[in-house]
Structure 1
């Protein structure tokens, strides 16, 4: 997510930070603590308003997450 033309919808600021987060999906993934949902985010550095975008995950990363949790 580099070189995006960002303007915060709340405060109009142009500086931002980006990152990724993972979350659990359904009941079984919660029970086994498998974080099979992946999101990218863009956050305003001034007011901290954050937008999340769903990203695709691969089977290999889900398997790796299962054995490391």
Structure 2
């Protein structure tokens, strides 16, 4: 990946991932149906999030593991 931090011009980074809930029913059943990838600058900690696709299988897995 050719990353350059927009805040400090650093080129080292860490990749991460988070999952969040969406609407009312996903909150009630604690299903994390929205997935985001993150890129964090190792120097200044500036973080950008990018929406990632989630599959039905991962949503079903979330339902049974909570």
Q: Give the TM-score normalised by structure 1.
A: 0.92
1:29 matched residue in structure 2: 26
Secondary structure of 1:22's aligned partner: strand
Q: How does 1:36-47 map to 2 (within 5 A)?
A: 36-47=33-44
Q: Could you say what secondary structure the match of 1:64 adopts?
A: helix
* Superposition pairs of residues 1-69 of structure 1, within 5 angstroms: 4-69=1-66
Q: Shift in Å at residue 54 of structure 1?
A: 0.4
Equivalent-residue separation in structure 2 for 1:46 and 1:10 (angstroms):
10
Query: Is there any run of 5+ residues in structure 1 with no aligned partner, and where?
Result: none
TM superposition score normalised by structure 2? 0.96
How many residue pairs match? The answer is: 66
- Point out 4+ residue stretches in structure 1 off by more than 4 angstroms: none
Aligned Cα RMSD in Å? 0.5
